[in-house]
Structure 1
Amino acid sequence: MADARESGGTPNALALTDDALALYERIVRGDGQVEPGWPGLDELLAIGLVLPHLFDANTYLASDRQYVWQLLVDRERAAIEQSEELLGQSVERLRELSRFFAVLPRSATGDTDSGGIEFMKNPSDANAAVASALASANSHVYTAHPKDRQQEVLRISEVNDIERLERGIGMRTVYPDTALVRVPENQWVSAVTLHGAEVRTTAFPFPRMIIVDDAFALLSDHQAALAHSRTGWKVTHPGMIGFIQETFELLWHVADPWAGRIPRTTKTITNPRTRTILNGMSEGKTHEAIAKSLKVTTRTVTNLLSPVYKALDIEAGDRFRLGLWWAASDERDLEAERIQE
C-alpha cells in the first residue's frame, strides 16, 4: 500500500507503507521479534497497531483492533476540533476506516479481532481451557492460588508440573501465607522446588490467576452474581496478557520466598533449649515469660534464637515467619529441654 501523507508531513493514519504492512502481517502471525529501526516499525507504533512486549524490548505484539479503531477516531475528532480547515480531510479518513481495517492481515485465531476475552461459564470449561494451554506451554507458567487446594488436585498437579519443569518450562507460584502450615501444599512445594520451581507466599489478598507463556491467562470472576471459585475469564488478547503478567510480577515482588524451601540437612537447626523456646512462642508466650520459666534473661532468649533466624534466612525478630516455619517443621517432634520448676 502506498504511503499517503497529510499536509505538513504528518503520516496519514489510514495508509501504511509496504514495509509496515509486511511487518504487521509478521507480528500478527506470532513472529514479534523485531530489531530496533526495522523498516515500518515506527509507522506501526505511531498508529498504535502494535505495542512493545512488557518483558522483552525487542518483541512486539498486535494491538486490539477495536482499541486502534477508537484511537484513530479520537485522533480525527481532535484534528477537527483544532482546525476547521482539516474537517474535509478528517471526514474522508473516517469514511475510509472500514477499508483500512479490511486490508490489514488478521491473526490465525481471530482472538485479537474478537477482543480475546471469553467468560468460562462453568468449571469444566475453565479446566479444559487451562489444560489445553498447559499442554502447549513452551516458556513459562505463572499461577496465583489465593485459596486452599485439595490434596488430590495437588498430587495430580505435582506429576504434571515436574514433567513441564524437566522440559525447561519456568514456573512461579504464589500462595497465601496460610498455605505454609498446610500439609498438602508443603508436600507439593517440596517436590516441585527440587526441579526448579519458585514458590512465594504473601499475607496480602490477591486474585486467582493462571498465565501460560504470552498466549493465555485465566482470571477469577469478580461479578457478584456469577462468581464461582472455579470459573473465570479466559484471556488471549496479547495486550491484556501483558497487563496480567505485569500484575503478577508486582504480586511476585511483594511476596516472600516459601519458608519450606530451606534445604534439609542431617544437622538440625534447633537444639533442646531453642525447641523449648519455640514451643513456648507457639503457645503465645512472650520472651519475658519464656525467660522466667528457663531462669535466664530475656536477652539470653533472644541470643539463643539468633542462630535459628540466621539458618532460616529470616530477619531477626520476625516471630511470624519463625512461627510459621516451626508449625510445619519436623524438628517439633524432637526432644525439648525439660524445665525444672
Structure 2
Amino acid sequence: MTDAVESDGTPDPLAFSNDALILYERIARGDGHVEPGTPALEELLSLGLVLPHIFETDLYLPAGRQYVWQRLVDRERATIEHSGDLLKQAVERLRGLPRFFAMLPPTATGGEDSGGIEFMKSPRDANAAVAAAVATVRSHVYTAHPKDRPREVLTISEVSDIERLKRGVRLRTVYPDSALSRAPENQWVAAVTAHGAEVRTAAAPFPRMIIIDDAFALISDREAVPAYSRTGWKVTHPGMLGFIQDTFKLLWHVADPWAGRNTPRTTGTITTPRARTILNAMSVGKTHDVIAKSLGVSTRTVTNALSPVYDALGIEAGDRFRLGLWWATSDERELEEESIKE
C-alpha cells in the first residue's frame, strides 16, 4: 500500500488502501465480479487499474500496464500545465511511478509490456503466436475464417484438432457460405465433426479471428493488403479479449449449421470388422493386393470395403493419405477386426 499523503500533507493521488490492493489482486487472478460502487473498487477505477467489462455490469478486468502508465503520466502532465505551483509534487509522483508498478501483482493474462495488444508483422509471427497459445489450451478454441484455407494447412490442422477434441477441448469454427462447395473444407469438417467439433457458415462478411480460452486472440489487420491477410493483432488485454469473445458469440448466433455435401455420421461406428482389418494393414504399409491375398478375397472387395468409410468421412475415394490420418487417431482402432485366413 502506498502512503496516504505526500510530504506536504496533501493526499497522494497514487495512494490506495489495503482493501483496494486485495481487490486488485483478486481481479488480477481473474475473479472480477465486484459489486459496483464499493470504495475499494472506486479507488482502482480512479487510478485506471481496472476497467469495466463492456457488457457485464458487475465484471471488472485489470487494465494493461502500458495503459495505466500512460494515463497517470498524462494526469501529471495536465497538472503541470494547469498549475505551475504543483510542479514539484507532480515530478515527485512521476519519479514514484516505477515503485508504484513494482508493488502491483501480475495479472492473469499478462501482456503488460505491450498493453496486451501486439502487431504480428508477418504470417510467421502470427503462426508462432497461435502455436504457443494453443499448446496450453484448456477450454476452447474458437475460429472464424473468411477466406479459403489451403488443403495442406487443413490436413496438418486436422490431426492436432482431433487430438484436442479428444482431450475435451471445445472447437467452434465459422466459415463463409462459399466453403460449402470447397472439397478441402468439406473433408476437414467431416473429420473433426465426427469427434465433436461444431462448424457453422455465415452469409455476411466477417473478420478473421482465433480465440484460445479467455487468454489469447488473433484478429486480422484491416489495413493489410490484401485484406484479411495472415498478419494481424495478438490480443491478451482482458478488456479487448472480452469484446472479441462477444463478437464471435454474435457471429456464431447468426451463422447456420454446416450443411456441406459430405456431412459425416456422428453416431455409431463407420467401419466394419473387415474395414478395420484393412485399415490396420494399410497403416503398416501393406498394399491392397497383399491385403486381399491375406484375406482370401479380391482386390476389388478390399476397395469396396473402404468405400463407405470414405463416404462417411467426406474424403475423396482413394485419398489414402487423409484416410490414414483419420485412422491414426480413431477410437475405432480398438474395435474387433475380421480374422485373417492362414
Shared fold, TM over 0.5: yes
Could you give the per-residue CA deviations for residues 100-149 of structure 1, whole angstroms, max 9, x where no partner exists? 46323253786224222222222222211111111111121111111111
C-alpha deviation, 1:91, in angstroms: 8.4
Matched, 1:127 2:127: yes
Distance 2:246 2:91 in 1: 34
C-alpha deviation, 1:22, in angstroms: 3.3
Alpha-carbon distance change, 170 to 70 in structure 1, aligned in 2, over 3 angstroms: same
C-alpha deviation, 1:77, in angstroms: 8.8
Number of matched pairs: 259
Distance 2:105 2:95 in 1: 14
Matched, 1:43 2:43: yes
Contact 1:140 1:170 in 2 (8 A): yes
Could you give the per-residue CA deviations for residues 202-252 of structure 1, whole angstroms, max 9, x where no partner exists? 121122111111221112223346867222222222222222222222222
Alpha-carbon distance change, 147 to 51 in structure 1, aligned in 2, over 3 angstroms: same
Alpha-carbon distance change, 239 to 94 in structure 1, aligned in 2, over 3 angstroms: farther
What are the ranges of 5 or more consecutive residues in structure 1 without an aligned counterpart? 267-327, 331-341
Give the match's secondary structure for 1:16.
coil
Give the match's secondary structure for 1:23.
helix
Alpha-carbon distance change, 110 to 142 in structure 1, aligned in 2, over 3 angstroms: closer
Alpha-carbon distance change, 246 to 97 in structure 1, aligned in 2, over 3 angstroms: farther
Contact 2:64 2:115 in 1 (8 A): yes
Could you give the per-residue CA deviations for residues 30-56 of structure 1, whole angstroms, max 9, x where no partner exists? x12255458834432343312355688
Distance 1:212 1:45 in 2: 28
Contact 1:32 1:59 in 2 (8 A): no
C-alpha deviation, 1:176, in angstroms: 0.5
Give the match's secondary structure for 1:201.
strand
Alpha-carbon distance change, 126 to 74 in structure 1, aligned in 2, over 3 angstroms: closer
Contact 1:129 1:234 in 2 (8 A): yes
Contact 2:50 2:62 in 1 (8 A): yes
Residue 143 of structure 1 corresponds to 143
Within a 5 Å distance, the mapping from 1:5-154 to structure 2 comes to 13-28=13-28, 31-34=29-32, 36-37=34-35, 40-52=40-52, 60-71=60-71, 92=89, 96-100=93-97, 102-104=99-101, 105=104, 107=106, 111-154=111-154
Distance 1:25 1:102 in 2: 17
C-alpha deviation, 1:87, in angstroms: 8.7
Distance 2:227 2:263 in 1: 37
Alpha-carbon distance change, 61 to 113 in structure 1, aligned in 2, over 3 angstroms: farther
Q: Which letter does structure 2 place at the counterpart of 1:107? A: P
Alpha-carbon distance change, 121 to 91 in structure 1, aligned in 2, over 3 angstroms: same
Q: Which letter does structure 1 place at the counterpart of 2:145? A: H
Contact 2:32 2:61 in 1 (8 A): no
Residue 160 of structure 1 corresponds to 160
Matched, 1:237 2:216: no
Could you give the per-residue CA deviations for residues 282-302 of structure 1, whole angstroms, max 9, x where no partner exists? xxxxxxxxxxxxxxxxxxxxx
Distance 2:2 2:265 in 1: 67
**Percent of counterpart pairs with the same letter?**
65
Distance 2:88 2:248 in 1: 43
Could you give the per-residue CA deviations for residues 277-330 of structure 1, whole angstroms, max 9, x where no partner exists? xxxxxxxxxxxxxxxxxxxxxxxxxxxxxxxxxxxxxxxxxxxxxxxxxxx9x9
Give the match's secondary structure for 2:218.
strand
Matched, 1:252 2:252: yes
Cα RMSD (Å): 3.9
Distance 1:21 1:179 in 2: 50
Contact 1:54 1:246 in 2 (8 A): no
What are the ranges of 5 or more consecutive residues in structure 2 without an aligned counterpart? 268-313, 317-342
Alpha-carbon distance change, 137 to 55 in structure 1, aligned in 2, over 3 angstroms: farther
Give the match's secondary structure for 2:96.
helix
Could you give the per-residue CA deviations for residues 134-181 of structure 1, whole angstroms, max 9, x where no partner exists? 111112111111111122221221221121122222221110000111
Alpha-carbon distance change, 137 to 57 in structure 1, aligned in 2, over 3 angstroms: farther
Distance 1:234 1:265 in 2: 35
C-alpha deviation, 1:68, in angstroms: 3.2
Q: Which letter does structure 1 place at the counterpart of 2:191? A: A
